[in-house]
Amino acid sequence: MKKQEIKLTTLHSGSDKLSPHRLIMKSRSEYREVPLLGRVPPASSEAVRQQMKGNRGSDTRPEIALRSALQKAGLRGYRLRWKNAPGSPDIAYVGRRVAIFVHGCFWHSCPHCQIARPRTNSEYWARKFIRNKERDERKVRELNAARWKVLELWECQIKANVESCVTKIREALIASTSHLS
């Protein structure tokens, strides 16, 4: 038993945020079932793999599509991941205080589409999705508190109808102009 404990501690040192004490309490098989936050387990199916690829980090496909539609519509002058606004929104019209987030349906638990969920490592994923959602909600709260108007646009909405997303943004900008003047 002693031998296994040492092995586990060594295995995880520096690769996660749990204390060695808690790691020791987990059996080896449990650990395999429940990888800790911070590393992403491989996709359990092709559908999940596609979802994971769909939208991660910055300059994602939906975000690029939206930005190009905004350019075409003449709604230029936005900043990308502007650090002076709470939560560094993906797209920010700073003067109008309009912030836009482009959410990947998989990573941010889209309420509009039926997402293929990973079947393995379900506890890992449940925690990960809850954390992402909490982070998104906190950003919106902080922006609202700083009197920003926030739009959350989903990957699937952009894919289905980028023009209606542009319209929403245009309306928010117009509303904000009349509010500021």
- Site residues, Zn ion (CB under 5 A): 105, 110, 112-113, 154, 156
Of 98 and 158, the one with the shorter C-beta distance to Zn ion is 158
The least CB distance from residue 155 to Zn ion, in Å, is 6
Q: Compute the least distance from the CB of residue 110 to Zn ion, in Å.
A: 3
CB of 21 to Zn ion, least distance (A): 40
Q: How far is the CB of 105 from Zn ion (least distance, A)?
A: 3
Q: How far is the CB of 55 from Zn ion (least distance, A)?
A: 10
Q: What is the largest CA-CA distance in the chain?
A: 71
3-class secondary structure for the chain? CHHHHHHHHHHHCCCCCCCHHHHHHCCHHHHHHCCCCCCCCCCCCHHHHHHHHHCCCCCCHHHHHHHHHHHHCCCCCCEECCCCCCCCCCEEECCCCEEEEEECCCCCCCCCCCCCCCCCCHHHHHHHHHHHHHHHHHHHHHHHHCCCEEEEEEHHHHHHCHHHHHHHHHHHHHHHHHHHC
